[in-house]
Structure 1
């Protein structure tokens, strides 16, 4: 990409990416292109080529688990057989819903329905206990809404009516494809929408849930039971894990305090309609080609994708999602080199050292808090590339080639859910990866105090052996430091070195940190994009991480021989290059904890004095920000 030198002082993002944005075309089956999306597309094409050869028999799978993936991929790609079977493979699942007589009957079948992946107005699952991350605990969350967020259910929401009409049209077409008559379809759909609306007033919106420690509300069995007279939550929990739990984490107590208003004998008809509609939509991607295309209509309206993926891509995506870690290990072993791994690990060590130096010389933390922050940093785990071994769960996915795609998928769903519940009360395996190595992303897990960088993100523009060291620091270096910064953002700062939720701050330090976080909220709140205004509170944690990441990466870059800060800032802007549909941008503004990417590229450099000296930015320039308004936390 060429850089518009005249524009850098006014708009770094457009100076670096503007020429590309003028001509870039978003693929019809995607809502976005550029940056992360382009890397993901390239990897998808690369792996599809490899696996096509295995499907054709010209090459062999490298191990038996990849062999099972290829079998599953073959079932997914056999649209002639899928079209011939029609909705036959789904009838048993749909009949399990249609044959439910009443609330008592549903309650009796609820454990089996849960293990088979059927939706419900609440969902039990097992996860590491935030206050005892060595052990798994039972948690229960709220039901999943049709619209993306509770804010869409508010009166006069401009997007909701059109989205609901799109959802109606999609579901009515699916009902027709499944062979149901119009009267049944219309009635069932309206029941489902009514039940969906009944949940929304009691659920938190995305901004409230962004403070994920607020979702940790432990109760005992008696307290769980007291939530509802209509549903025996304790009996359901006991059936799922083998005994009545003594501790359950409730995500949203207010929702469960109103559960009897949502689920009762009078609302059962609407609930049953909701359950049927959700089940019909869930099975459709595994059936005929027309069904899987139809089932994408609503999500395409949300994201702005113009058309569904073709048969080949949809089959690959479905199969690779089911066998994600198997595919990831194949990608990591074949395409991720030891030189890159060693280089990135050295970069991580450098970024940790920079962070430690900053903490040691921090001028607003007390000695007590500073010491604990350094202890947390010293215990930070780092994983680069791909896991050492395949997670045991994936070894249990054995494909029965004589069965339908949906039947295999349903069996795998039950295996995965039963595996999750079997972990209750056991020691947590802290080596498991939450992301496949073929995923273009990175993450910090606060419960494990670990940062993870899958192999897929470790390539240009984020990182390259052929890029300058300064450009690499502006790319992967800033990403590495971003993930480290999550250990000290407004959420991560609530966890100690072992990942346990614990206050290790003095009151004065915490108050000062909260003030700085509020400054970051103000810096972004109300900024305007073509999709609307930014909600500063929703995106504050990621912005704190961006600020810390860019600032620490800059310090590391400055310490290298032949440091080139121009290349550093230009690559920072380049990694956020993206072209998206307007629909996707609107959706992300409402629900995503990340700021729009052009703002991520432009705002954080304005907080750093080196950006002004590097490009001679002066008052009156578009990128200029008064020194008193610049926000620096870490």
Structure 2
């Protein structure tokens, strides 16, 4: 491959640090934009897409009748979001009636009497109802009970005198105090409200799952008889709430975090009602700042900027773009894909996926630690894997329901988005008990990412990730396999990681393993945990349990992509490994790296690049790595699962 001057590779480092060999010179020159927490492969692609789309949308014709209806509404919302003069004039007025509604709430009886409208209005509650595929019958939508988010990123921030609490909570407190003053509360009122809200937040914290616990998402499935669930709370009428939303409460509800609901009476009761109100007030206020004046927007990003190390909020123009495209995600994705994604690339990538599936099938059939019955089930699951490349066939119907009300008719930016929240909630709630729409994508086509959906046994590769360095028709096949090929195989591997392996070929949570084979897998998963656990990084240490599923997928993806690359006539494994390291390049603030260490199920980018290659024999032969080199890992320590 030809490298640009900024991408000069230091081949002397291959044996000691592949990541630095490929990215070291880039890292020296790379600068993180003030409104970013990082720069590099994924972020650079995202920035380029953002630039192209914003340029396109700035030059739209006045007559939009040739565009589909959702796009016309998106353009209206984008213009409304950019009208900062009007937003500054409106100040806090768009949310005043909502703040008053929370303030005037007298007791639980009054809350229960209006709880449906409260929820549809986008006002917070100390739990939530949602509708999604039943994990054990993924053809049908079921009701789930979920827990509220904390003020800080994770429960662990509240434990063991974590210094991050002492660093971050004062920043959060000052931000909320400033926001309350902007919303016309006095300084003393603001101080009282935030301290009360923090008291309620602190009561929630010990009773919700940590990021590590949430990473085992099969444990979200805790079905209960609804009448038994309703007994959890003596203050909030859970049955009435469900009856109001759905006509009649379903017979069963799936509880994602039973520990929280077992404790809810101690958290939510008449003695804590005042704290609950203030907590709801703070939660609501924070959620609205991006739709209000520039002062609200800047102030409202203070905490998130401190958390990630960003020096500045995004520009007004960029914030308006992300706000509008966040609402009309599928619409904007559809526009992007049709303009920037070609059929040749789609066909080429689909062929790569088929090649990868062949490699996976051969590996499963020849697996030496699985029994025959489990191997056959695994091959069956692989054969039923659904593939989606580029963009969905249709825009999500919900986006056709969003109609923008102009400001002159009372349609402030907040009022419009709040109405869309109501429409979305009503639409999703109406799906309870109905068949699951298995064509719906969770990502828009302009998203630089990919995913595996275990409940649908489906892999999705949005158009946006199908670019260099991940993929290019101008790159060698080996380089493409080291980029998008490894990403493809990574997503396939999720079907067989510690979470995905517990779902069958139809996406149902179903144990298709023998006890002996599951024990063998768990031993290998423990080796993957040990390989990463405790590695020093950014002043902290990697949590092997938190990152195990993504590490298993990385290992399987890289290994299978390596084999697929070798199946090409003119493979070059040097190209393969170099591009694998290149796609993970990232320069980030220390704050952002520390945040990811605590909450991200992925290992740090640098370690994804360096640790996984050590498990592959071909890496050692490609770069002549020996036991004297830092990249060497003894054979008995190399983790090989798929």
- Structure 2 length as normaliser, TM-score? 0.98
Are 1:255 and 2:260 an aligned pair? Answer: yes
Which residue, out of 507, 510, 525, partners 1:517? 525
Q: CA shift at 1:110, angstroms?
A: 1.7
- 1:43-69 Cα deviation digits (max 9, x unpaired): 000100000112x73987632211110
Q: CA deviation at 1:219?
A: 0.3
Q: Which residue of 2 aligns with 1:274?
A: 279
1:140 corresponds in structure 2 to 145
Q: What is the CA–CA distance in structure 2 between the aligned matches of 1:63 and 1:124, rounded to whole Å? A: 33
Q: What CA distance in whole angstroms lies between the structure 2 residues aligned with 1:551 and 1:277?
A: 48
Match of 2:317 in 1: 312
**1:471 pairs with one of 463, 479, 483:** 479
Which residue number corresponds to residue 462 of structure 2? 454
2:394 pairs, out of 389, 392, 405, with: 389
Structure 2 counterpart of 1:584: 592
User: What CA distance in whole angstroms lies between the structure 1 residues aligned with 2:313 and 2:276?
Assistant: 30
**C-alpha contact (below 8 Å) 1:61/1:67 kept by paired residues:** no
Secondary structure of residue in 1 paired with 2:105 = coil
8 A Cα contact 2:489 2:556, kept in partner: yes
**1:334-391 deviations in Å (ceiling 9; x for gaps):** 1000000000000000000110010011111111000000000000000000011111
- For residues 486-525 of structure 1, the C-alpha deviation after alignment (integer angstroms, 9 at most, x for no partner) is 0000000000000000000011000000000000000000
Q: 484-493 or 95-104: which moved more? A: 95-104
Structure 2 counterpart SS, 1:267: helix
Aligned to 1:410: 418
**Residue 231 of structure 1: which of 236, 241, 244 is its match?**
236
Q: Residues 224-373 of structure 1 correspond to what in structure 2 (within 5 A)?
A: 224-373=229-378
- Output the aligned Cα RMSD: 1.0
Once the two structures are TM-superposed, the CA of residue 114 in structure 1 deviates from its matched residue by 1.3
CA distance in 1, matches of 2:239, 2:597: 38
Are 2:602 and 1:594 aligned?
yes
Structure-2 separation of matches of 1:253 and 1:374: 35
SS at 2:270's partner residue? coil
Instruction: Tell which deviates more after alignment, 98-107 or 312-321.
Output: 98-107
**Secondary structure of 1:256's aligned partner:** helix
Report the alpha carbon displacement of residue 273 of structure 1 after superposing the two structures with TM: 0.5
Matches within 5 A, 1:28-43: 28-43=34-49
Q: Is residue 2:202 matched to residue 1:197?
A: yes
Give 1:552's aligned residue: 560
Q: Would the alpha carbon gap of residues 61 and 313 (structure 1) be closer, same or farther in structure 2, given more than 3 Å must change? A: farther
Separation in 2 of the partners of 1:515 and 1:92?
Answer: 57
Counterpart Cα distance in 2 of 1:9 and 1:346: 33
Question: Does the aligned pair in 2 maintain the 1:53–1:59 contact within 8 Å?
Answer: no
Q: How does 1:413-492 map to 2 (within 5 A)?
A: 413-492=421-500
Map of 2:17 onto structure 1: 11
Task: Give the length in aligned residue pairs.
Answer: 633
Which structure 1 segments of 5+ residues have no match? none
**Is the 2:620–2:626 contact (alpha carbons within 8 Å) kept by the matching residues of 1?**
yes
* Residues 441-463 of structure 1 deviation map (CA, whole Å, 9 limit, x = unaligned): 00000000000000000000000
Match of 1:607 among 594, 612, 615: 615
Distance 1:138 1:59 in 2: 40
Superposed CA offset, 1:54-96 (max 9, x none): 2x73987632211110000000000011111111111111111
Alignment match, 2:511: 503
Shifted more, 496-505 versus 285-294: the winner is 285-294
Name whichever of 57-66 and 542-551 sits farther off. 57-66
Unaligned segments of structure 2, at least 5 residues: 1-6
Residue in 2 that maps onto 1:51: 57
C-alpha distance in structure 2 between counterparts of 1:329 and 1:251, whole Å: 33
Structure 2: how far apart are the matches of 1:61 and 1:285? 31
Structure 2 distance, partners of 1:57, 1:190, is 50
Deviation of 1:111 after TM superposition, in Å, equals 1.6
Counterpart-to-counterpart distance in 1, 2:190 and 2:21: 52
| Change beyond 3 A, Cα 1:465–1:610 | same
Shift of 1:591: 0.6
Q: Aligned to 1:399, which of 385, 390, 404?
A: 404
Using the alignment, how far apart are the partners of 1:58 and 1:213 within structure 2?
50
Instruction: Assess if the C-alpha contact under 8 Å between 2:485 and 2:561 holds in 1.
Output: yes
CA–CA distance in 1 between the matches of 2:295 and 2:33?
21
**Residue aligning to 2:3:** none
| Matched-pair contact (CA < 8 Å) for 2:112–2:240 | no
Q: Does 1:25 align with 2:39?
A: no
CA contact (8 A) 2:533 2:543 kept: yes
Q: 1:563 matched to which residue of 2?
A: 571
- Distance (whole Å) between structure 2 residues aligned to residue 456 and residue 199 of structure 1: 38
Deviates more, 1:94-103 or 1:128-137: 94-103
Measure how far apart 1:531 and its partner are: 3.4
Q: Deviations over 1:558-580 (max 9, x none)?
A: 01011000000000000000001
Aligned partners of 2:470 and 2:484 also within 8 Å:
yes
- Give structure 1 regions of 4+ aligned residues with deviation exceeding 3 angstroms: 56-61
How much has 1:392 moved relative to structure 2?
A: 0.5
Do residues 626 (structure 1) and 634 (structure 2) align?
yes
Q: TM-score, normalised by structure 1?
A: 0.99
